[in-house]
Amino acid sequence: MYKFIYPISLKGDGEGRYIVTLPDLPEAVAKSRAKEEIKADALTVFEGTLALYVDLHKSFPMPSPVKDGQESLTVLPSLAGKILLHNEMLKAHLRPVDLARRMGVRPQEITRILDIRHKTKIDTLFLAMKALGKDLQLSVE
């Protein structure tokens, strides 16, 4: 079971701003003007990178542990579910139309489910995983 908490690395740019990187996602780089903006900027670049991976049919990396001195980005369960669904579809060599057939829905529904910026209910992600023969599990610690 994964905890969807991604590390964030920060460096000063010499001009009072921060260069924000996500070590697990080399493509994810942002600049923040203030320390208060770091997490919002990291989330924006995280979502954009995830959308890129979906478009490129590339597996999305799972988070590595957060190290001392790093900030962290906690991913909401619905977004974590989309990451898992995307990766499982790639492993199974399933196209959205194939999953739509398995779920008995239109292909456009699957396109919306995989759209990073579209809000998807966790129940819908659960059903999509079931159609892949997988269980989507939540836990409380």
Q: Which residue range forms the structural domain that includes residue 38? A: 5-74
pLDDT tens series, the chain, 141 aa: 678 999 999 988 888 889 999 999 999 999 998 888 989 999 999 999 999 998 999 999 999 999 999 999 999 999 999 999 999 999 999 999 999 999 999 999 999 999 988 999 999 999 999 999 999 988 777
Residues 70 and 90 in one domain: no
Residues 91 and 65 in one domain: no
Number of independent structural domains in the chain:
2
Residues 38 and 92 in one domain: no
Per DSSP, the residues of 45-78 read HHHHHHHHHHHHT-PPPPPPPPPTT-EEEEPPHH
Domain boundary among 59, 74, 89: 74
Report the predicted TM-score, pTM, of the whole model to 2 decimal places. Answer: 0.88
